[in-house]
Amino acid sequence: MDRHHYEMFTKFGDDGFLLHLDNARGFGRHSHDETSILAPLSQCCIIKRTTLLRLQLLAQPEYRLSDVMRESLLQDRLAPVLTEPHLLALDRRLQLILKAVRKCIDTYGEGKVVANDTTQPEVPTSDRAKLTS
């Protein structure tokens, strides 16, 4: 829900430029989950297998998203970047994403929802390079 607003900087006349504003609320309010941003997932019901596997991994207790993010942000010179309630909101929101994926799979089946991006496409025999010995 961030960076959807812009202004034109025109102090120097017609040679203005686009200026994106970061309102510092990219993570939103920790107490409110903006579920409308899940509309593309819920409407299209397609997700890459590698993305789904990564999200599922980050939902596991030993790789919890909030813990991974907390550890990563400790390296930031501005630490703490996120408050503890915001970090915990990440875990809750991840569950909302996984729930949306499960609903899609229940409705359309895994084969239609989960795009297999882990295998190389089969090359037709006619397009393969011929080896000579």
Binding residues for Mn(2+): 22
User: Residue positions in the annotated binding site for ATP?
Assistant: 7, 22
| CA-wise closest residue to 20 among 9, 28, 12 | 9
Q: Are 14 and 76 in contact (CB under 8 A)?
A: no
Beta bridge partners of 48: 115
| Sheet strands (E) in 10-112 | 17-20, 47-48
Spatial distance between the Cα atoms of 38 and 102, rounded to a whole number of angstroms: 13
Which sequence positions are flagged as catalytic?
Answer: 2
